[in-house]
Amino acid sequence: MSTGLDPAVRELLDRAASAPVPDRPPTAVELRAAFAASRPLPGLAAPVASVTDHWVPGPGGVLRVRLYLPAAPGPVPVFVWIHGGGWTIGSIDENEVASRAVCAAASVAVAAVEYRLAPEDPYPAAPSDCYAVLEWLAAGGAGPAVSPSRLAVGGESAGGNLSTVVSLMARDRGGPPIAAQVLICPVFGHPDDGHQSYVDFATGYGMTADAMRFFFAQYAPAASDDPYVLPSRARDLSNLPPALVLTAEYDVLRDEGEAFARQLAEAGVAVDVHRYEGQIHGFYGLYTDLPASPRSHAEVAAYLKGIFA
């Protein structure tokens, strides 16, 4: 049973509430710049053997992929990490702490993808980019230290959405086999689907219902029943990789994440679901000073170790 907001979360929200309110809604470009400027400074990051940026051919140009390698004998499995930000903001830089933590604790490579952002590049740019990186890794593009045949995907928020979309694409196209998907506070449906968490946590908890509507307007303004936009609309979820789904109690996306986990289980997919009580959207990769953040990194690392054992 929940005991309410984590005190550290309450303190974070109180600080955010004291920030000045703009006199008009920002554009996507302004929001992106403000997000980058206000991103919390990362705390202590786990040491890894190396961090290198690679430039990967993509469908719309060259993509940056940041590769974290553990201090472990290779070739090691690789965890493709897809950042959040409503397909509109964010970058691989915001998840430095989480990427290093999982790399070190699970002894896996982490390949963080810098995909194209909306509205300049709306759907299907983001999933197309992420799938291109998956194919690059499967073809051995990351070099001999990384096993091209042991791949998992994961992401937070929009990155969770893209992780499942990439898994659907790989299944549908006979693409690279994916060992698992790690889905953290993921987006699977539309803000108007009627989930109670969109009502209960519409404002005051960081991510708002209106922000999610804004992000959809940038990314897929004619939001359809395309499962590559809204995985909850997929008619067939069978033969997808096993999934770890982490949700936050005080998050507009909580109910759709847990509902989609049930959809996966009904389709015969092995699913582990864990709701982080007292937490808000972003507790995993963005707000890494929260006490729950390192616990979630450890859970993801343990899950990946089990998958690749």
Token pair 């008619």 is at which residue? Answer: 235
157 is an active site residue: yes
Cross-strand bridge partners of residue 80? 111, 153
Contacts 24+ apart (CB under 8 A), 211-215: 211/86, 212/86, 212/187, 212/252, 212/253, 214/25, 214/86, 214/88, 215/86, 215/87, 215/88, 215/118, 215/158
In three-state secondary structure terms, 147 is strand
Q: Is 143 left (phi over 0), alpha (psi -120 to 50) or beta?
A: left
281 is an active site residue: yes
- The residue from 83, 195, 281, 297 that is catalytic is 281
User: Is the distance from CB of 164 to CB of 186 less than 8 angstroms?
Assistant: yes
Residues in the chain: 309
- The residue from 107, 157, 197, 293 that is catalytic is 157
- The residue from 251, 255, 293, 296 that is catalytic is 251
38 is an active site residue: no
User: Is the distance from CB of 79 to CB of 304 less than 8 angstroms?
Assistant: yes
User: Is the distance from CB of 115 to CB of 126 less than 8 angstroms?
Assistant: yes
Give the active site residues: 157, 251, 281
